[in-house]
Amino acid sequence: MTKVWAGELPILWEDEAVIIINKPAGVLAHGAPTQGESVDVVTLLQQQGVVLMGGSTDRPGVIHRLDQYTEGLMMLAKSDQAYDHMQAQFKARAVTKRYYAVVKGLLPPSGRIDRPIGRDVSVRARRSCHHYVSGTQKEAITVYTVLRQLTNLSVVDVQLITGRTHQIRVHFAAINCPVLGDHLYSRQSKKPEGYYLQSYHLTWHHPYTNECITTEIPPSNRLKKYVQ
């Protein structure tokens, strides 16, 4: 069972345009009919009195998503203008997005995974590089550097060049090094703490001033035993 987040979401940046939070693992980015009573970022921020704008009515302000057990930096918009501007930046690949990930297996010191991702033909909740519904595939590029290797684990710094659904999880599973704890894309058993993935770095341009801003956080409590 997903642990329900108690308390306010940690806010790292907030002005009249955008808000950046440190999303806890287990919290959804936004509500979804299939998720029942699971807690989500949009609802929690609204309960904290944050007014979000832009996007669809069921996910206001959501510029980019993080998967449920991916923790770390997530940006939302507080105005329609900021939403449109930041969406354009993400689409143009003008935002630098970096993650820490712990994956099973030993990898070369660095690499580039360039494989299209589409909707899985057999499991609706999954995406795939190998068995996707024809026509749903899109270009997907992931670049990584190995930070540390353990007996059968690699700790990697990942940069997303594109931003497809489940991209890091799909790409590393495709090269037989799935993210630790990810039962959806491997035969690992489901763990209460989920998979080990953290969004730790965003470099972006402010939608009103065009100032280049870098937002970065240290490894989380879950990942710091691996990231040294």
SS (H, E, C) 117-145: EEEECCCCCCEECCCECCCCCECCEEEEE
Residues 51 and 4 in one domain: yes
Question: Could you tell me if 158 and 101 lie in one domain?
Answer: yes
- Are 100 and 190 part of one and the same domain? yes
Kind plus residue range of the DSSP H or E element containing 86:
helix 80-91
For residue 161, the model assigns a pLDDT of 97
Are the beta carbons of 65 and 97 closer than 8 angstroms?
Answer: no
pLDDT value, residue 38: 67
Same domain, 62 and 147: no
59 and 11, same structural domain?
A: yes
pLDDT value at residue 6: 55
| CATH number for the domain harbouring residue 82 | 3.30.2350.10
Cβ atoms of 161 and 190 closer than 8 Å: no
Same domain? For 108 and 185 the reply is: yes
Instruction: Give the pLDDT score at 34.
Output: 53
One of 40, 67, 120, 182 is an active-site residue; which one?
67
In terms of domains, do 88 and 101 share one?
A: no
pLDDT at residue 37 in the model: 55
Which range marks the domain in which residue 58 is found? 1-92+204-211
Give the pLDDT score at 8: 83
Same domain, 133 and 75: no
Q: How many domains does the chain have?
A: 2
Residue 67 annotated to the active site:
yes
Phi, psi of 96 (to 5 degrees): -90, 125
- What stretches in the chain show pLDDT beneath 50? 1-3
Distance from the first to the final alpha carbon of the chain:
30
Instruction: Answer whether residue 6 is part of any domain.
Output: yes
Element (H, E) at 168: helix 167-174
